[in-house]
Chains A and B, each alone.
Chain A
Amino acid sequence: MIDLMLGELKRTWIQTLRYPSEVIGGVVILSAVFYGIFLGTQYMAGPSATFGTRLDTVVVGYVIWSLVLYIVNDIATNLQAEARTGTLEQVFLSPFGAPRVFFARAIASLTLRLCLILIVIAIITTITGSQLSFPPLLLLPLSTLLFGAYGLAFFIGSVALVLKNVQQLLSLFQFFLFFLLAAPTEDWTGLAKTISNVMPILPSTGLLRDLMARDVGLDWHGWAIALANGLFYFALGTLLFRWAEGKAKQQGSLGSY
C-alpha cells in the first residue's frame, strides 16, 4: 500500500508539474476570485468599513470552501477524465481494488492541493492584510474535515461511476457547499446546532474558524462530534463507492463516459 501511495504521489505531481502554466493559472484564478469577492464586499460596505476578525473568518471560509470543493470534485472529475482518455479500465485492473487506489489518488492530489492552497493563502493575506494563525491543533479539525470531504467525494464519484454525467450535480453542489460553509454554525444553538452536527463537514468548519481566525482554543467536545461526523461520511462514501463499482460492472459501463 505504501508503494501504491508513493506511486500515486509521483504520478500526480509529475502530471501536474509537467505543464507549470496550468498550476500558475490555477493559483492566479483562485486568488483573483477571492480578491474579487473581497473588493465587492468592501465596495458594498463602504470605504471606511473595516473587517477585522470577520475578514479572517471570510478568508478561512473561502480557503476551506475551495479546498472542500476541490476534494469533492476530485474523484468524480478524475473518473470522468480517465474514462475519456481510456486509462480508467486499466486502473480497475489493479489487485488493490478501486476504493484503495482512488483513496491513494485522493491523498496524493491532496498533498498537491494543500501546497497550492498555502500559496493562495499567502497571496490573499498579503493583499488583504488578514492575520491568520496556524496552531498545530489545527490538524485535528482539518483531518475530520478531510474525512467528511472525502466521504462526499466518494459519494459523487459513485454517482459518476453509475450515471456518468455529473457536471450538473457538481455545479449544484458547489453552491450548496458555499452556503453551508459560509453559515456560522458555531454560533447556532438548539435544533439548528443538532442539524449542523449531522450535516457533512459542518462540525469541522466551525472549529477551523475558531482556531485560525478567532484565536479560540479547540473545543474537544466539538472535535469529538466532528470526528464521528467525518468518519461516518467517509465510511458511507466508500461503501457507496464499492456498490457503484459493482453496479457499473454489472451494467458493463465502467469505461464508458
Chain B
Amino acid sequence: MSDLRGVPDDFAAAPISLWRRGINALVTFAAGAAVFLVLLPLGAIFAYLVYKGFGSINWAFLTQTPKPVGEAGGGMANAIAGTAYILLIASSIGVPLGIGAGIYLAEYGRNRLGNLIRFTADVLNGVPSIVVGIVAYGIVVLAQGHFSALAGGVALAIMMVPTITRTTEEMLLLVPNAVREAAFGLGVSRWRTTLSITLRTATSGVITGVMLAFARVAGETAPLLFTAFGNQYWNWKMNQPTAALSLQVFTYAISPFDEWHRQAWAGALILIVLIVVAVSAVRIAASRGMMKGAN
C-alpha cells in the first residue's frame, strides 16, 4: 500500500482507533439489545397465551354458549362461529372487489385514474378501524334499524379491500408481458387472457394477498363494537347481532370475573392460532417461491 503514488505512507496503515472500535462495538450491542427488547413482549405474549389459554380450552368452551354471570362453565362456540360467519360475509364482499380493483390497476391502470385509485387505496389502508366502524354503522345499522352480522361484515370488507387490491396488482405485474402477448398472439381475447392466463399464473400470489387481508381483519374488534355488536346466543341471521371472538375477548377481559378472564385467554389463544396459521401459510408459500408467480 505504501508505494501507491499520492498516498501518504501512514494513511493506509493507520489503525482504527480504540475509541472508534469501542463505539462500533457499543452500537452493535445496542442494536442487538433492541432486537431482544422487541422480541421480549412477543415471547411474553405467546407464552402467556399458551400458559393461560391452553388450560381453559376444553370441550365445553368449544361447544357451548356463554353462561350468565356467576355461573361457571360455558364457552365461546357461538363467538367462534360468529367470527367465521362475519369473515365469510366480509370475504364475499371484499375479495371480489379487491381482486377486481387489482386487475384494473395492473391491466388498465397505467394512467392518471390508476394513480388516483392506487393512492386512494393506500389512504383507505390507513383509515383507523374505529372510523370504518362508524361508517358501517351509518350505512348498514341505521338503514336496517339494528346491529347485525351484515354490518360487521361490511366494516371488515372495507378494511380488506385495499390490502387485496395492492397485492393483486403487484402479483399481476410480476407476470411477464410475454405471457400476455403469447395469449394475444393466439387470438385469445383480452378478458379471457386476464382471467385464465394472467390471473391464473398469479393465483398463489393473489391468495397470499387475500390471506394477509384475512389475518388483518380476523382479530379486529373496534369496527365490530357497534356493527356486529356481540350476542350471548347463536345467530345465523344476517340482520341480527352476532357474537365474535374478538368482541367476546374484549368483553371478558375488562370484566371483573376470574372465570371470564380465564375464558378471555382461551378465546385469545384460539384467535391467535387462527391468525398465525394464516400468516405462516403465507410465509411458507412465499418462501417456496410460489408468490413470485411466473417470475
Is B a genuine binding partner of A?
Answer: no
Residue ranges of B at the interface with A (Cβ–Cβ < 8 Å): none
Residue ranges of A at the interface with B (Cβ–Cβ < 8 Å): none
